[in-house]
Amino acid sequence: MRGADGLDGVELRHLRAFMAVAEERSFTHAADRLRVGQPALTRTVRALEETLATRLLDRTTRRVEPTEDGRRLYAELAPLLPRLAAALRAHGGQPVLRLGFTSLLPGACAALNAEFEAATGAGVRLVRRDTPLAGLDTGESDIAVLRGDALPDADVRTRVLLREPRVAAVGRSAAAGALARRRVLDWAELADHPLVVNTVTGSTRPELWPADRRPRLACTADNFDEWLEAVAAGHGVGVAPQEVAERHTHPGIRFVRLKNAPPVTVRLALPTRGAHPLAERFFGWGGTGGAEGRGGG
């Protein structure tokens, strides 16, 4: 890479663009995340590569992978950019709390956010990151809403916010047509059907069933949209929080009420050390249970 004297053309937008593509492994997904057009994002990353005189990303028709230089730059920027953003926010007027979430923010959070803003004068900015910790580990969020009991083994504190009922997501294809016509399904009978699992941000895995009667893993998905399409394609049955059924529709899927299903635990999470002061206040603002220890207890 060039020395510091060759970096006059590098701007913060170039670095953010590169980081987003490196994390998403896709220009399309990175463009959606940054809310920019894909051609503009491509030009921004290419401009950074030209300034640094090195290729940062290997591009194929299916996937984008960082090069050796790209991996090195990512590792160096990952801890620096969040600190820079925090420093800029500290001198930017109204304080802002970044609330991370994955595919679906619980509806109850809207009232919680409004109450917090009214009481503190701070703003709450919603940050969607389809990663296990919703951007908490990368510094992209100050506090996060996480679903499920098997939380990543990370250095975080958690508090139970609420518990949500589960529903079954059934494809309308011929293979699953009989299930789609049912009004209610029992949790136990899902063990007889292949299961589609979102392994990154999902909250339902075969291990939730008894060891002697578990559903077979049909396929996995890396995000909510892939999971939805896999169920619609008839690869297997899915299970999701009830709020998904209330806020999402798909022509190839019917959501069916589940009985005897364990609820989905929804938690607030923040770093064990060095948490943002606003995150500490939000953490104590609401919840149905006391604070838990590292990794959710």
DSSP state of 56: -
Q: Which pLDDT tens digit goes with each residue over 120-172?
A: 888 999 999 988 999 998 888 999 999 987 666 678 999 999 999 999 999 98
Tens digits of per-residue pLDDT, 91-105?
666 788 999 999 889
Instruction: Give the C-alpha distances (Å, rounded to integers) separating 136 from 70, 132, 142, 271, 280.
Output: 22, 9, 6, 7, 14
* Segment 202-249, tens digit of pLDDT: 999 999 999 999 999 999 999 999 999 999 999 999 999 999 888 888
| Residue 297 binned pLDDT confidence (cut-offs 50, 70, 90) | very low
- Beta-bridge partner residues of 27: none
- Domains of the chain, earliest start first: 4-78 (1.10.10.10), 97-156+267-292 (3.40.190.10), 166-262 (3.40.190.10)
| CB contact at 8 A, 132 and 100 | no
Query: For the segment 37-94, what is each residue's pLDDT rounded down to a tens digit?
Result: 888 889 999 999 999 999 999 987 778 999 999 999 999 998 888 777 767 666 666 7
pLDDT of residue 206: 96
**pLDDT score recorded for residue 274:** 84
* pTM score, whole prediction: 0.67
Match 């994955």 to its residue by tokens. Answer: 102
Q: Are strands 253-259 and 166-171 parallel, antiparallel or unpaired?
A: antiparallel
Average of per-residue pLDDT across 252-265: 96
The confidence band for 175, taking pLDDT boundaries of 50, 70 and 90, is low
CA nearest neighbour of 21 among 1, 41, 40, 49: 41
Question: What's the number of CA atoms in the CB half-sphere (13 Å) around residue 56?
Answer: 27
